[in-house]
Structure 1
């Protein structure tokens, strides 16, 4: 009888251990998005930059699954962020640019609705919904900090946040939220502390306006690059990259010191690229452009004990962010998403069975807030290392670097990562093959490839 009782107690103890382990393993993870602003994909230590020092992001890369061939579908601030929060391409969520242009079409929309076109643009997120809303159904709290274009933080479904949004003063893209990183980290760390104390899973949107202009880094960073002999204006940008890296270290250290690293999925991405000019401003083929230094970004996933560190050769896109996060949280969206849920492959290390990515570029100012094609300038597809770029006759409005040529552009990114040699004329069959993939993605009905928009006026 005693032996029987002992065996029963051991069995119960074992079952309790299994149940406890299962509960721990299935605990809903916290989600932290780190979003860089205007940073070239090469501009990190771990990406091989010879001057820029990013020790904290280098460490994150060592602890993460890293996709060095990551991309954003639309390389401009607001559309890039809108894709991240809605899980939809710009032509689907209709937020294709930063601001509504003063066009007859937008004036007509405003007159019919009796509202400013800027307010009407905000209604797009009302229609699509957003990630914080879907996570809230699984008990998540959420916090918005940094850049945010879609009105108040509440409009995006965040339970807490810093941005009041349009029409409040400075509400175009962040108002009070823009202090994060540059001036303070306290709102973010206090939100984490509250969530940990309440034992509530959380989603953190950390999107400081860094290394975005103004390039006004602390002297301790700037002096370092000036002493290296870097030209002053370029040194300011390099120093901004390191200052941003320092803020990421502050955030990651706080997560680790709070004892929640193993319960937290950290994802890193950039909104668009950057080429710093010595005279100031950004160069062509970077921000706003469909070229590699505009659309490419390292994408990282850190979840200790769940996602093993790895350097992945496959393609990855920010369009995958929402479905992957929803899967990690055990949550669901209101519809299917065009991106992939990468979680199974991130955890198993198995190859991602996808060799094709798509993207699109539009004018900075939206010609028609209800018709995305009105501002369509480019569409691109990457299959393996082949990239096709088609130009369209959408209205560019005011652009620093509008399209100059209408012919197809074909590049081999493995041999020519800087996209200097157009192979289209010598490879018509490849152009036809990749053009067909673009049309399988979607077919523009109002714009024509191979044409430039007529001059305004």
Structure 2
């Protein structure tokens, strides 16, 4: 009898201490300025929920996306690999009518043979959902519900009104769609509506005692510049686009807070990984986003185009209120989530991301990535260690030591000719591994990106007052 009792107690103790599969929540903003959060020092923006999240988890000071524009960045994140390797190099899909390609409009998307982050987590028994901006293919075969997500409420395109359409928009890809083919416009401001959908999914799935993975892919703060009167009234001292983007950011933070509050209310926040990050740098010319102290904007390969805010919370696994300083990439989300879900990392085939957990926790003191790459048409970038080389189509290359020159002011290319030569070779060797782009933009758009970079390179003046206009 004593032996039976002992065995029963051992089983009970093991069941109490065994780690359940963690829930995973990815809060993903769109076109937000690097400087436009309280946890990055903003005195203008009101982001109390995200500021709290930063204190509860780890803030990554050098987090990168795989591209400085929306669609390619998302393609890298969802597959864990450089999107140029499957031809998703050029901006943006679907419906980007300035493309020059045999593959046009709705046919542009992440190839169906690519395995997504949701595909991997479904194998681990997760319920999966996606809410908001998709932007990874308009044709039915690219639909989220055919790429590993059980539930979807969002739009297939890249931008739409934050308010319900009373008349049909130019493209049905801008319409809100529940599941597959059921178009239902939101009843309220879209940022709030997306939070409501995600909260509902979390509550339903938690009650079913099933681990869940949800991506809340906000279109905030991407254009069009839409905000509610109540949110605009919170910023009486601001004007124009700066006032509107502040109101949109407030709504974004409120929506994130709704999700975080629900996790706490349900008693599952201690077993939930929460990530907040952004798809690329803020487009200062379009939405008055500010990327200071970084230079440049969305669509450029300066730090302001590719470095993004990134927060990660996992109670009991990550030290709260800490900063991780080595470079990471949104390519790392897939292997990090898969390993956290109990998956065998050796099963992950042909990806470029790494599981971040051993690095964050100090088990592995090396850098997660010794080298990172970016490419769009003739432009190419390599970051190796602390050095970053940018190759342009219309001017000589630039070289920066990023920790010592975060604003990329001091181009030292002339001081390190041997290093420049070696980085050029390594960048070219990587490019030789890539697939040809499946579609390309007209060359005139490359000039638009270069001109935008030059005009908005110095972000300090926008932080200091011009951004109010």
Q: What's the TM-score once normalised by structure 1's chain length?
A: 0.80
Question: In the alignment, is the contact (CA less than 8 A) between 1:182 and 1:208 conserved in 2?
Answer: no
More moved, 292-301 vs 182-191: 182-191
Residue number among 214, 227, 232 corresponding to 1:222 in the alignment: 232
> What is the alpha-carbon distance in structure 1 between the residues aligned to residue 433 and residue 123 of structure 2?
36
Distance 1:222 1:356, change over 3 A: farther
| 1:343 equivalent in structure 2 | 357
Question: In the alignment, is the contact (CA less than 8 A) between 1:135 and 1:326 conserved in 2?
Answer: yes
Distance 1:420 1:260, change over 3 A: same
Please list, as runs of the form range in 1=range in 2, the aligned pairs for 1:270-419 lying within 5 A after superposition.
270-277=278-285, 285-309=296-320, 310-331=322-343, 335-348=349-362, 350-354=364-368, 356-362=370-376, 376-392=377-393, 405-419=394-408
Q: How many residues matched? A: 407
Distance 1:139 1:220, change over 3 A: same
Residue number among 240, 245, 249 corresponding to 2:253 in the alignment: 245
Per the alignment, in what secondary structure is the counterpart of residue 414 of structure 1? helix
Question: In the alignment, is the contact (CA less than 8 A) between 2:37 and 2:47 conserved in 1?
Answer: yes
Please list, as runs of the form range in 1=range in 2, the aligned pairs for 1:26-425 lying within 5 A after superposition.
27-96=20-89, 97-99=91-93, 106=101, 109=102, 117-122=104-109, 124-149=110-135, 150-151=137-138, 152-163=143-154, 165=156, 170-172=171-173, 175-176=176-177, 179=186, 180-227=190-237, 230-277=238-285, 285-309=296-320, 310-331=322-343, 335-348=349-362, 350-354=364-368, 356-362=370-376, 376-392=377-393, 405-425=394-414
> What is the alpha-carbon distance in structure 2 between the residues aligned to residue 69 and residue 377 of structure 1?
25
Higher relative contact order, chain-length normalized (CA < 8 Å, sep 6+) = 2
| 2:6 equivalent in structure 1 | 11
Question: In the alignment, is the contact (CA less than 8 A) between 1:40 and 1:294 conserved in 2?
Answer: no
Distance 1:163 1:153, change over 3 A: farther
> What is the alpha-carbon distance in structure 2 between the residues aligned to residue 102 and residue 214 of structure 1?
18
Distance 1:421 1:275, change over 3 A: farther
CA RMSD across the alignment: 3.1
Instruction: Show CA shifts across 1:226-277 (max 9, x none).
Output: 33xx343212212222221111111111111111112211112100111434
Quote the offset at 1:353 in angstroms: 3.0
Where does the alignment leave 5 or more consecutive residues of structure 1 unmatched? 111-116, 363-375, 393-404, 448-452
> What is the alpha-carbon distance in structure 2 between the residues aligned to residue 164 and residue 355 of structure 1?
34
> What is the alpha-carbon distance in structure 2 between the residues aligned to residue 48 and residue 455 of structure 1?
37
